[in-house]
A and B are shown apart, each in its own frame.
Chain A
Amino acid sequence: SYEVTQPPSVSVSPGQTATITCSGEKLGDKYAFWYKQKPGQSPVLLIYQDKKRPSGIPERFSGSNSGNTATLTISGTQPMDEADYYCQAWDSSTVVFGGGTKLTVL
């Protein structure tokens, strides 16, 4: 079965750029999706179809996907961006989530 892998944690200073990767075999041939989840809250769709943002998602969140790696980039990271981030792909009509990345803003 298909798998996608994320680093368990990423740290960034406020105002800097955070990069979270998601790796999977030929992931670039699929669409990548990203979700943000804060403690005690439900996940929120952050990026869909590699780089599109749903309405209400700030422009500082962007995505890309090529080769075996999808990337979520957070520009000008704010303390409120501290959360868990999950990538997701589809594999034959089933959903595949990465293990999640805890973003620490310090």
Chain B
Amino acid sequence: QVQVVESGGGVVQPGRSLRLSCAASGFTFSSYAMNWVRQAPGKGLEWVAIISYAGSNKYYANSVKGRFTLSRDTSGNTLYLQMNSLRPEDTAVYYCARVGVTVTMDPDYNYYGLDVWGQGTTVTVSS
């Protein structure tokens, strides 16, 4: 069964760090670009970052650029989000989401939706 499962959320003080993980199963992880999307309490979806299938290309939202780092472990089928210098406004549910096309089908993922989402992991930044 195709799924992604996030973990690593918790309560952290402002300025501290946290690392989120997203474990993928049921599909060839190395063939898909992957995203993090977050949702603050009572708010809409906010895209955070994307990493290409091989990990060579990474893009970040301006709100997290320079503080968050995306990486992937292809052998372990895991996506990571290292979050440094956390702020109260980073408080949100963080979702891992797959882009719905493999690199062999189309290396340009800009034409495809996010077809697999995890259940999310909650990050609370508070003193």
A21 → chain B closest CB, angstroms: 16
Measured as residues with beta carbon below 8 angstroms from the partner, the interface class of chain A is 20 to 34
Docked complex Cα distance between A82 and B36 (Å) = 25
Measured as residues with beta carbon below 8 angstroms from the partner, the interface class of chain B is 20 to 34
- Is there contact, CB below 8 Å, between A33 and B120? no
Question: In B52-111, which residues have CB < 8 Å from any A CB?
Answer: 57, 59, 61-62, 95, 97, 100, 109-111
A residues within 8 A CB of B112? Answer: 48-49
Known: A90-B110, A95-B50, A100-B45. A42 touches B95 (CB 8 A): yes
B residues within 8 A CB of A35? Answer: 45, 113-114
Contact with A along B26-67 (1 / 0, CB 8 A): 000000000101000000111100100000010101100000
- Is there contact, CB below 8 Å, between B95 and A93? no
- Is there contact, CB below 8 Å, between A97 and B47? yes
Docked complex Cα distance between A44 and B119 (Å) = 11
Docked complex Cα distance between A86 and B100 (Å) = 17
From A42, A45, A97, A100, give the contact of B100 (CB < 8 A).
A45
Does B9 touch A at the CB level, under 8 Å?
Answer: no
Give residues in A with beta carbon < 8 Å to B.
Answer: 1, 31, 33, 35, 37, 42-45, 47-49, 54, 84, 86, 88, 90, 93-100
